[in-house]
Amino acid sequence: MAVEARGVGLAGRAGRIGTSAARIDGLPKALGSFAYGSDLWEEGMLYGATVRSPHPSARIRSIDVAPALALPGVRRVLTAADLPARRRYGLEYEDQPVLAEGIVRYAGEPVAVLAADDPEQARAAVAAVRVEYEPLPAVTDMEAALRPDAPAVTEVGNVMRHVRIVHGDPDARADVWVEGYYEVGMQDQAPLGPEAGLAIPAPDGGVDLHVSTQWLHSDRRQIAPCVGLPEEKVRLHCAGVGGAFGAREDVSMHIHACLLALSLGRPVKMVYGREESFFGHVHRHPARIWARTGARRDGTLVSARVRLLLESGAYTSSSSVVLANACTFAAGPYEVPNALIEGTSVYTNNPPTGAMRGFGSVQVCFAHEAQMDKLAAALGMDPLELRLRNAVHTGSVLPTGQTIRGSAPGREVLERCAALPMPPDIPPTDRDRLTLPGGAGNVGRGEHIRRGVGLAFGYKNVAYSYGFDDSCEAAVRLERGIDGPVATIHTAAIEVGQGLHTVLAQIARTELGVDEVVVEQPDTEIGSGGSTSASRQTVMAGGAVATACATVRERLLARVVEALGPDAARGPLRLEDGRVFDGDVPLGGIDHFLDTPVEAREVFHHRPTTPLDERGQGENPHVMFIFGAMRAVVEVDEELGLARVVQLAGVQDVGKALNPRGVEGQIEGGAAQGLGLALLEEIQLRDGRIANASFTDYLLPTILDMPPVVSAVVEDPEPGVPYGAKGVGEGSTIVATAAIAAALRDATGRELNRVPVTPDELAGLAPARTSGGPAPIPDVPGPRAVLDYR
Amino acid sequence: MEVFRPSSLYEALEVRAAHPQAIPIAGGTDLMVELNFGRRRPEAILDVSRLPELQVIGREDGRVTLGAGVTYARIIRELADHPALAQAARTVGSPQIRNRGTVGGNLGTASPAGDSLPVLAVYDAEVVAASTAGTRRIPWREFLVGPKRNALAPDELIVAVEWRQPDGPGSFSKVGTRNAMVIAIAGVSLQLDTAARRIRIALGSVGPTILRAPEAEAFGAGILDESGAWADPRAEVPADALGRFGELAAAAARPIDDIRGTAAYRRHACAVLARRALTWALDDRRLAAG
Ligand SMILES: Cc1cc2nc3c(=O)[nH]c(=O)nc-3n(C[C@H](O)[C@H](O)[C@H](O)COP(=O)(O)OP(=O)(O)OC[C@H]3O[C@@H](n4cnc5c(N)ncnc54)[C@H](O)[C@@H]3O)c2cc1C
């Protein structure tokens, strides 16, 4: 039973850094014994459910919970009137109501929560709660939201944040200009595990929440004030996470389950179904981007002028930082001496958006790479050549004024990518028809197939930026086990399926010379691990574990010296293969010195960063960068407008691959998610309502859509971080969409300036997207960088 | 919820007569979705998945009988001489769905996106329905009466579908945005009936129900006549005539815009698929003729 797995760590026995050590969670997941959040169970628990608004914008006239309470098994219904303490929460701003108060701002917003004896009763009760709404005009278009006469979505209007980056002379003259307008639809993270958690009231008046999340401490910071408890009485424990991709950065059912559990004095479990999951988390920001790129005749970039809008939806979530990222990366990984980048994130009555893998850089990469291809065409230059000529490197100055001081092997990434083997070009008429566009649909025998090749190059920051004090704490204990020394790692850093805990075990094995490592389930008994996002945990949790291991080693070696006397040691003492060595001379098993365990606790911080100023400039807005390149080969049935990606070839700059197979997995998974955005994945909104909240109509790539991925890594160590390793989680997602779009353009000769690309567009039945020109700059008081993460 | 699990058709029909509110369940790949989404809460369920009478694949005197309980996986394996039906079965869902889903369920749901239905339409099949009162054969053109509605009486079960073994090539093609596991945006089935010198074509997902395209059928038969292709498979049929055939087929579509696709694209896809289907049928005959 899943409950038994709560709080139990997973152990692995072999593999130092640099090896493809087996995943410590691999076997349990493959065998089905791994406990995910949705598997949680506790004696006497109730099931929670949420009443959500069907309207994108409405006034709540009245709520009648009596009919629900009259149903069998229904124990409690809570509305805004029942909230015991703070009524709003949020990742950056506390702007999201725990339960809607008077007004609903998006379809799907929680209005009431309830608990019943079983899920069926809870569902029936949801339908029985009578909410009387007075629909209000809804703002469901981000440009419309900026018009002066648009109804205000929030108390502060419709401009969430405006960022302006002015660099060099934006009016600088160029020989050649290319212009483009681009749109990106709303992608869903679609983690296979839905939002899930179990809140258990504790005898001390506090609550224990077991929950699938990306950042326990950020959740707790938001939960505690809303349930009216001090933080130490709100204890969070990570429940097995079935994928995240940004969808679990925000609070979903956390506060609701805790409120119900505390008010009833009974455990309450909440699990969203797939449909509810579409309403239960934020999505990727839809974007509109207007770009003008200027270059000298020899291909040297002169200027980038970018106007971009990101749609924040009804609440803020992480929109202010996603916007800052989109703006700082809008000109691409290129040296551009002059730039004017103006970005606005806009409130609308559409569902809220926030973190998703790539975090603002996916949208701008789609635009800047299309611009680079247009420029190459205008100059009659090879697209690879143009990119190589302008790629940033260590020492380059970015549009924010930041000088890249760490590793930046962008050119090598590009060159390696271009050199990866091309797929075989078997004539379409001679192939298994499943491999043709249309796949299993049997739509062709190889007629009207056109092949296209596209390239994309992108970059992104690792870890948190703009002056946030980003850290992770780790505790490491080394003790005598049944067959040798065992190291136990405790952090609050979440494994979301990407392999972090395996890498942490590899680090401990490397640093302590032991085989057996146990990684405990993350919880709030230790200091914050920071978010498992921004490609940061290999660096941050890895850094914390490496540092704590170094301290453990020092302490252990001090014991060794003490036991053997100061003169015994001739060479440097080291730990390897479970033994202590003096130079090359083994002194005995590590066990031998472990009559009592050795422990250490360390907090790892990365180099400090700085905020953006009024002109979007900063000494050090980002701490380090990762670069990725991808080449896509596609085939399009030009009559039917159906596409199949034939191959994705990606190269990623990783500093050092701590687990090469894990890195490969990240490259492939990220490429699949980018493919989804290029061709399939979009939350379709109709008047603010999600029209495809299911996997029947929100189409994720299947194995027939996802081609083989050829990948390679560039290992150029980043100074100042353990092993020189950078993050690896986002690189391929950033570039895959742009590369596939470029390949589709190559195959069809069409503009394709919006993703996901539709069959209508590929077949020439629908024209490219047009715009009446860049959105006006909003009249707001300057580009305040309003970061309040704590 | 009550669950009846009869082991013979006779027993099942008695349950059906006594409990008309009991909803039949075969593979459950449609019904369980309805239950899970809370769209349906039947008082009782009648499991027809273990009725041996529904598992039959029979061939007699040029007639083919396909039991309502035969799964797509079995059709792919056992009806390879019916390329259109086997292809339609292959386009359905994923391996799990093909292992459970049945033609009887496709007929029961009667969705315009049911992938076996355009094929049964071009086979001009009859649906065999039974009740305790007896068995009747429902001609294809009377079976589908509207979107997700069929001509079955409340006390009847679908036992089988029957048709005359087609004499000539046929195919099924389906367009969806994704390369597998996708609900059709448009589906086209075409069957040549060489003996009768007729072409039958049916369209799925482009109207309230499965649509035949009589004008295209007549035109297609005509161009094969004119070019002499009925008699001589090697005879060339002009490309523009094939294109015209596709357009006439598309003209029979009555598509709408929805989240899965636009009406314009659906119509366009019908034209392309119909033209390709007839082209392939002629190619296949030519190949068979050597
Ligand atoms: C993931 C997924 C993918 C799918 N993909 C496709 C696809 O690509 N193409 C497609 O066409 N369909 C698809 N479907 C729908 C479904 O699989 C098919 O319609 C299938 O044929 C249903 O058969 P079943 O045996 O599972 O029917 P059930 O769900 O058991 O029944 C369906 C309906 O038919 C009735 N019924 C069943 N048998 C009888 C009988 N003998 N007499 C009278 N009534 C009966 C039931 O009462 C019910 O109303 C998909 C479904 C899922 C879940």
pLDDT at A335: 98
B29 pocket-lining for ligand 1 (C-beta < 6 Å): yes
- Give kind and range of the element (H or E) at residue A510: helix A500-512
Which CATH number, 3.30.465.10, 3.30.70.20, 3.20.20.70, 3.20.20.80, labels domain B2-164? 3.30.465.10
- The CATH code of the domain that includes A474 is 3.30.365.10
Domain final residue, candidates A280, A301, A318 = A280
Cβ of B174 within 8 Å of Cβ of A441? The answer is yes
- A597, part of any domain: yes
Whose tokens are 């919880």? That residue is A523
**Which residues span the domain enclosing A555?**
10-14+470-605
Give the C-alpha separation, A698 to A526, whole Å. Answer: 39
- A92, part of any domain: yes
What residues contact residue A183 under an 8 Å CB cut-off, 6+ apart? A286, A287, A288, A289, A753, A754, A755, A769
Contact criterion met (CB below 8 Å) for B94 and B104: no
pLDDT at A565: 84
Cβ of A640 within 8 Å of Cβ of B180? The answer is no
Which CATH number, 3.40.50.300, 3.30.390.50, 2.30.130.40, 2.60.120.470, labels domain B170-289? 3.30.390.50
According to DSSP, residue A433 is labeled: G
In which residue ranges of chain A is pLDDT below 70?
1-8, 568-569, 781-790
pLDDT at B37: 84
B188 pocket-lining for ligand 1 (C-beta < 6 Å): no
C-alpha A110 chain-centroid distance: 24
Res. B277: pLDDT tops 70:
yes
Q: Which of B3, B109, B116, B144 has most ligand 1 atoms within 8 Å of its beta carbon, as the pocket-test mutant?
A: B109
According to DSSP, residue B4 is labeled: E
pLDDT at B64: 98
According to DSSP, residue B112 is labeled: T
- Which parts of A511-597 are beta strand (E)? 516-519, 573-576, 579-582, 585-589
B68 pocket-lining for ligand 1 (C-beta < 6 Å): yes
**Mean pLDDT of the B268-290 span:** 96
Give the C-alpha separation, A576 to A511, whole Å. Answer: 9
pLDDT at A6: 54
Whose tokens are 């028809």? That residue is A433
Ligand 1 nearest atom to the CA of residue B46, by list position: 47
B67 pocket-lining for ligand 1 (C-beta < 6 Å): no
**Mean pLDDT of the B80-100 span:** 97
Give the C-alpha separation, A533 to A541, whole Å. Answer: 12
A712-726 residues labelled b (16+ CB within 10 A) or e (exposed): bbbbbebeebbbbbb
Q: What is the dihedral of CA A315, A320, A321, A323, to 10 degrees?
A: 110
Which of A123, A443, A759 is the closest to B177 by Cβ?
A: A759
What residues contact residue B267 under an 8 Å CB cut-off, 6+ apart? B206, B250, B253, B255
Contact criterion met (CB below 8 Å) for B267 and B206: yes
B203: chain A residues, CB-CB within 8 Å: none
Question: How many other CB atoms are there within 10 angstroms of residue B144's CB atom?
Answer: 25
Tell me how many domains chain A contains.
Answer: 2
pLDDT at A156: 87
pLDDT per position as a tens digit, B124-173: 999 999 999 999 999 999 999 999 999 999 999 999 999 999 999 999 99
Kindly report the nearest CA distance between residue B236 and chain A, in angstroms: 18
pLDDT at A14: 83
Backbone angles phi, psi at B76, to 5 degrees: -60, -40
Backbone angles phi, psi at A753, to 5 degrees: -100, 15
- A495, part of any domain: yes
pTM of the complete model: 0.97
Transcribe B22-48 into DSSP letters.
EEEESS-TTHHHHHHTTS---SEEEE-
Which of A440, A443, A686 is the closest to B90 by Cβ?
A: A440
Which of B37, B180, B280 is the closest to A439 by Cβ?
A: B180
B243 class by beta-carbon count within 10 Å (0-12 exposed, 13-18 middle, 19+ buried): middle
- For A170, A742, A771, the CA distances from A178, given in Å and listed in that order, are 15, 16, 16
Whose tokens are 């399926």? That residue is A497
Q: Domain ranges in chain B?
A: 2-164, 170-289
Give residue A166's identity as a one-letter amino acid code.
V
Whose tokens are 């998974």? That residue is A669
B184: chain A residues, CB-CB within 8 Å: 441
A701: chain B residues, CB-CB within 8 Å: 178
Cβ of B259 within 8 Å of Cβ of A438? The answer is no
Which of A680, A692, A763 is the closest to B178 by Cβ?
A: A680
B209 pocket-lining for ligand 1 (C-beta < 6 Å): no
Q: How far is the CA of A517 from the centre of ligand 1 (A)?
A: 49
Q: Does B171 touch chain A (CB under 8 A)?
A: yes
Give residue B171's identity as a one-letter amino acid code.
S
Report the relative pairing of strands A96-97 and A103-104 from DSSP bridges.
unpaired
